[in-house]
Structure 1
Amino acid sequence: MSKTVTIILGHPAKASYCRAIAESYRDGAASAGHKVHFLPLSDMKFDPILHEGYHKEQILEPDLQHAQEAIIASDHIVIIYPLWIGMMPALLKGFFERTFQRGFAYKEAKNPFEVGLLKGRSARVIITMGMPGWFFRWFYCAHSAMALKRNLLHFCGIKPVRFTYLGMVEAASENERRKWLESIRKLGRKAY
């Protein structure tokens, strides 16, 4: 069964291994007949700063309006980014702050388990890093990944959320990188 997939590429550089990962997932998904929305944040024009917090409405730029439309149309959301000082890049955080707002991603409710407006969608988060993936997962308890899962994705109703950690990326051989891209392409085919 085909799905609609939105890929959010959170690396701020136009050329990166994260982009190669995103393109591999996109190509795999498209080859299996899935509809794909590709959102490379480095190509989008928007202010990532929520200047007045949530006290005053900040009108969404056309690229963010398009992103919301893609997310609403999606069955599956893929988020790809590098781990920088233990967290996601600021551009991706700004994208989430501007896009996943009240009224779009969540609502106010007395029951905290009934706030999510993006129910019925799953997610895959792919994180590249300089340390071994197992070290991030076990020693650091994948803290920033778990915060993304609990504090944003689950809060907005997106479940299940699965993770792929690609560690020691800069030290990896070309052969290892090609193998990773092929495994990502397979995930794309399954929209998983």
Structure 2
Amino acid sequence: MDKVDVRFPQPGKKAPTANLPKNAEERAGALIELMDRLSAHLRREAEAVERRCTGAELARLAKEKQPMMLVYEEVSRLLRVDREGMANLPDDTKAKLRAATRDLFDASAENADVLRRNSGAQKILVDTVVNAINHARQVTTVAYNSPTPPRSTYVVPSHGPATSATLNTRL
């Protein structure tokens, strides 16, 4: 507990307040601007994945996206529950809202497609490396002194560099 000097009046601390829009028109305007920023961010993220950027840059992009997504969810929820306010929005605002929604949907689909393709390419690469390692581990020996003709068998080495492999499972 903090010590307070009671001889001098202390200014009261105000609780932090959320700076959310107050009416439907303000919410719609904020949502349009936010969806435009989010669409641009998703396109930057997809472009970074296609450029094979570092994990640190991708993590930074994901960290920047999270607060925008949280605000988007809250403002869109507030706008959806205000049916009367939505009905009274001007037609040009409704048109801008539809266009921003369509653009965000397209950017999300492009982003998901890039991530899906990248994930598929990484799976192929990992499978190829694993198959190459397994093939390199197979040591061919010829079995002698057996009643059947000589045949090839495969033996996995019990130690050495051929027995260790590490897979990077991060995106």
TM range (shorter): under 0.3
TM-score, normalising length from structure 2? 0.24
The higher-RCO structure (CA 8 Å, 6+ apart) is 1
**Structure 1 or 2: more helix by fraction:** 2
